[in-house]
Amino acid sequence: MSHIKGNHAPWRGHVRAWSTGDVLEPIDANYGETFADVYDAWYGAVSDVGALTALIDTLLVGGLSGAEVIECGVGTGRVALSLAAAGALVTGIDNSESMLERLRANDPEGAVTAFLGDMSSDLPTREFAVAVVAFNTLFNLQTEDQQRRFFHHVASRLRPGGLLFIEANEFRQIERVEVESEQLRPGGSTVQSRSQIDPTSQTASGEFDDGSTVRQWRIRYLSTTQIDEMATEAGLPLVQRTEDAIGTPFTELSERHVSVFRRPILEEQ
């Protein structure tokens, strides 16, 4: 799976009328191979890892200590290392070798067991207490079929009572737009950003250009309603949804969500 983590905010900035003559061509870039060298600097604080770790520890029966956890789209270890520090036995999967190289550098003691693979088809054949899909990673599965397959695949790897945590932006009714802006990235560098949203295909794509490197990205977004439908179809009903990991209520104005799904225990099935 592609590895867009974080909020590229393609709907923010200078918005121009949609013009079919100059829109960006759809791409299928591997995000990790393009962004691995800047990911920690640019997106290390995209969400509250400590709060997410505490939420998982609270909701998981018995807590994180000794629990088998898999992070789907582990990247450089931003979330996985926090879970491991809380005592979890963490496995991570990512489709980018460059991201995994960064993880190994960030994890010299090998607290996270990580491997190269596709989260929609290559999860280890054992049961986990928790699966985590950190910020917007779900949207880097590039087709509806891949996204549906992911929910079924992860459901088959969760133990009865196991939990799936998804962090993402909320996408509601969006018009076709193209956005251009100049952005200051962490560390002081400036990049030219260009992006587009196509609600017909439910895709957002774009690029960052710092004058020497052009970094492209593409996501297929889902609303919370669509996420819930896919999860329910896979046998993972929603347990709770908040705006963030500290428990801010999710409302019609919320731009983000932390959603928790649960595989029913056997007697509930």
97 closest CA partner among 117, 123, 120: 117
DSSP summary character for residue 136: T
Q: Which helix (H) or strand (E) holds 110?
A: none
Residue the block writes with tokens 């450089």 = 76
142 closest CA partner among 29, 233, 49, 51: 29
Q: pLDDT (tens digit, 9 = 90+) per residue, 91-118?
A: 999 999 999 999 999 999 999 999 999 9
95 closest CA partner among 71, 65, 69, 75: 75
209, 182 contact by CB (below 8 A)? no
Q: φ and ψ at 226, to 5 degrees?
A: -70, -40
Identify the structural domains of the chain with CATH numbers, from first to last. Answer: 14-30+172-220 (no CATH), 43-170+223-268 (3.40.50.150)
Across the chain, mean pLDDT equals 88
Q: pLDDT (tens digit, 9 = 90+) per residue, 205-245?
A: 999 998 889 999 999 999 999 999 999 999 999 999 999 99
**What type of residue sits at position 7?**
N
Residue 77: the pLDDT is 97
